[in-house]
Each structure stands twice: as structure tokens, then as C-alpha cells.
Amino acid sequence: MSKLPLLINWFKDHKGSVTAFSGGVDSSLVLYASKLALGAQAIGLISNSESLKAKDFEIATNFCHTHDITLRVIKTDELNDPNYTANPANRCFFCKTHLYEAMVDILKAEYPDYTILNGTNLDDLGDYRPGLEAAKNHDIRSPLAELNINKKEVIAMASELGLETAAKPPSPCLSSRIPYGTAVNSTRLKQIEQAEYILNQFGFNNVRVRYLGEEASIEVPVSDLSSLESQFDVISKEIKALGFSKVQIDQEGFVSGKLNRVLNG
């Protein structure tokens, strides 16, 4: 049975809400449910920082326009924070801290009785996500996790509602393509984004380009490997033009969070 009524009912004790919105299916569901429950008192907020793909920002803004949801756009300053740019294993903690601090300031000034929300679902609680600590530090609420709604149920509910983000592949921040300990900067983030865009143009939608210094490592689902290999010469030439000296195909295929394996070694 769908948990959608349960999710919508979650908002009944809240005067209004501001959802940290990324354009992904989890935060889309939370934001849309808040709109169903709270109407104009449901606000979305997105940080258009360098680590967010321009494509994802466009998806997020289009979503809010389509569904008549107010979207606040800010720009957080994590690339000027050495704790973040040094790219430690808890990099996400510093990124989310910048975001949530900005959200808290906006709420105090403009929406004093509103609740800050994020799209954390039940499955996220069992994953390595340093950003969860930042959420806890700033009293951020997670309706999906609180209601024990997992990723599969999120997608089912988004599909039930006809949300255009239901089938959107996960798209974590661009910094997640850079190995821990390798500095994050705007040049590298742009290289990664442009390389993934090139792959999108060749028909590969679920991709990762891992930044390995002078080398770009391409991940696509195993089912797409043969198609990638057949077009590799022209693709690698375009990616090298971005500043990489070598381009390789990861024969294991696409694995979300692959760079986190070093944490378990």
C-alpha cells in the first residue's frame, strides 16, 4: 500500500517548510508533498554552486515552475572553505554545513515558523553520508526517513504522482567524482561536468567521469560498455580536449559511490 497519504499527513503540524532541493527524486517527492499539504507555504531552496551540474539546476528550476512551487536560489561558498576543498572523507559534512547554515539564516529572517527539510530516505541511513551529521547539527527534518520510506517506495510514489523526476538517474555532486585527498576546485569540477555532458550527447545518460589527475575514467552501465567502446575514439578525443591526457573505460561498469571503497579498506 502506498505511503503517500502518510507522507502528506506528516506536514499537518507544520506551518510551512523549506526543502533543500537538488532536483533529484527524493527531494522532489518531499517538496511536492509539502506543496500538496501546505500550498504556498511550501518553499524549495537550491544552491547553484560549482559542484551542482547545470543540467540538474535546470531540471530543478523547471520542476518548480511546472508545479508552481516557489524556489529560492542561493550560492553557497564551500569552494572557499579549505576544509571542503582539501577533499577529506567527510567532505560532504562541510558542504551540507554551508547549505544548512544559509537555510537557517534565511528562515530566521523570512520564515521564522517554518521547518527545514531534506530528502534523506531510509536507505540513506545505512550508507556513508557525512552530510547526515550536518543535518542533525542544524535540526533538519527528514520526512522520508522518519516515516521509514525507502528508495524503492520513493520512486513508486513519485511515479504514482506523475513526477517527471521519478525516472531521473541519481546525480550526486560533481565533487564525488574526485578521489578523497585530491583537491576540489572549480576547474576540475568544470572538466568533469563537461566530460559527462559529452557522454550524454552520445546517448549515455547514467554516467560517471572519475577525475584521476591527468586521466579521466569513464563509468557506464555494463550493458552500455560495447556501445561506448564502439564510439570510444571520437569520445576520448573530445574529452582529451578538456585537458585530460588520458581517457579510459572502467570495465567494471558504473558503480555508485565507487570512490568510497577506500574507506572500507
pTM above 0.75, yes or no: yes
- 88 and 156 in a single domain? The answer is yes
Answer yes or no: is pLDDT of 265 > 60: no
Domain co-membership, 180 together with 153: no
- Residue 167, domain member (yes or no): no
146 and 49 in a common domain: yes
Q: Does some domain include residue 193?
A: yes
Q: Are residues 19 and 134 in the same domain?
A: yes
Q: Residue 199 belongs to what domain range?
A: 174-264
The rounded distance, in Å, linking the Cα atoms of 129 and 37 is 29
Using one digit for the tens of pLDDT, what is the confidence trace for 106-165?
A: 999 999 999 999 999 999 998 778 899 999 999 999 999 999 999 999 999 999 999 999
| Residues annotated as part of the active site | 173
- Is 241 inside any structural domain? yes
In-domain check, residue 62: yes
Rounded (10°) CA dihedral 265, 136, 147, 20: -100
Same domain, 183 and 259: yes
Tell me how many domains the chain contains: 2
Residues 155 and 185 in one domain: no
- Shared domain check, 149 and 47: yes
- Domain membership flag for residue 21: yes
pLDDT at 260: 73
Q: In this structure, are 9 and 132 located in the same domain? A: yes
Phi/psi of residue 216, nearest 5 degrees? -105, 125
List the CATH number of the domain containing 66.
3.40.50.620
Confidence of residue 264 (pLDDT cuts 50, 70, 90): low
Whether 191 is in a domain gets the answer yes
Render pLDDT for 156-206 as a digit per residue (tens, 0 to 9): 999 999 999 999 988 899 999 999 999 999 999 999 999 999 999 999 999
Q: Is residue 165 a part of any domain in this protein?
A: no
Q: Which of 134, 160, 186 is the last residue of a domain?
A: 160
CATH for 223: 3.30.70
Q: What is the pLDDT of residues 10-41, one digit of tens each?
A: 999 999 999 999 999 999 999 999 999 999 99
- Same-domain status, 155 and 179: no
Any domain includes 205: yes
The residue among 101, 134, 160 that closes a domain is 160
**Same domain (yes/no): 41, 110:** yes
Of 160, 187, 211, the last residue of a domain is 160
Same domain, 24 and 134: yes
Q: How far apart are CA 91 and CA 242, in angstroms?
A: 25
Domain shared by 30 and 135, yes or no = yes
Q: Which of 148, 156, 157, 141 is nearest to 122 (CA)?
A: 148
